[in-house]
Amino acid sequence: MKESLIQFWQNHSETIVALGYNLILAIVIFVASSLIARAVRKAIRNTNSKLKKLDATLIPIFSTVASYVVYIIGSVFILDIFGVNTASLIALVGAAGLAVGLALKDTLSNIAAGMMLLILRPFKAGDFIEFGATQGTVKEINLFTTILETIEGLYIASPNSVLWSNNIKNFTRNGKRRMDIVVGISYSDSIDEGFAVLKKIADVESRLLVDPAPQVMVASMMDSAVNIQLRAWAKNEDYWAAYWDLNKRVKESIEEAGLTIPFPQRTLHVVAEQKLPVLKEKQCSN
């Protein structure tokens, strides 16, 4: 056995040494590619955090693509070391890529949708959006999915194609939102007095925007109440706090002004049953 191994080494020593050298060199290139890809991702994140030239939604996809490019270049070097004809391989990979693309059309559609979302930018990281029945704050857009966090703190990873195929409602984009506060008063109350209460509340609330100016109006006339409405605008960061405070203040101010906030009620009219006289039949004698 020992003599066979010695004979094998003598016959193939040059090939084994060359193969080992190439294998070690391939491992070094792979490790170097991994380190370079990690460094590139970190550099992109750190550079943008300092310069703030790119949208935060673009950073994950740029860093991912850059790392893939580094790995591809490293793979080409490794194949070249082992004497693989990279030109023929590229043609083969192209044909295989077509077949894989047809098989993974749904996955590729997510990539295409992600690119469209990044180009058209209907939202960015930090925006609160709604699509379909889903609402949440955008945390990240990557090649395949968009990551959101709901109001309840839940993690949602939605395929990019789902967002692209739905209407996207962006609550943050315009920087302001309108609030509609509706309160019902009795039909016997004065609508002008109700308007005065709402206008006074709007005038003293500093979180409401002056332009567009707050409005008061009759929203609707229901079965048991006349609904009057305060329509006002606030900045996104002030919206919910102002909305909750104004609802409380409107209810208290309406009652302090002597106006009635009615509740749904129904009036029943009871009609007494009238007894009809009983007609007696007369017997006819023959």
Q: Which residues of 92-111 are buried (b: 16+ CB within 10 A; e: fewer)?
A: eeeeeeeeeeeeeeeeebbb
CATH class of 2-103: mainly alpha
Give me the architecture of the 123-170 domain, per CATH: Roll (2.30)
Asked if the domains at 2-103 and 176-256 fall in one CATH topology, the answer is no
Pick the CATH number of 176-256 from 3.90.420.10, 3.40.1380.10, 3.40.50.2300, 3.30.70.100: 3.30.70.100
pTM: 0.60
Domain boundaries, the chain: 2-103, 123-170, 176-256
Strand ranges across the sheet with 226-235: 176-185, 226-235, 215-221
pLDDT tens series, the chain, 286 aa = 666 666 655 666 666 677 777 788 888 888 888 888 888 888 877 776 655 555 566 677 677 778 888 888 888 777 777 776 666 666 666 666 666 555 556 777 888 888 888 788 899 889 999 998 899 999 988 878 899 999 999 999 999 999 999 999 999 999 999 999 999 999 999 999 999 999 999 999 999 999 999 999 999 998 889 999 999 999 999 999 999 999 999 999 999 999 998 877 666 777 766 665 655 555 554 4
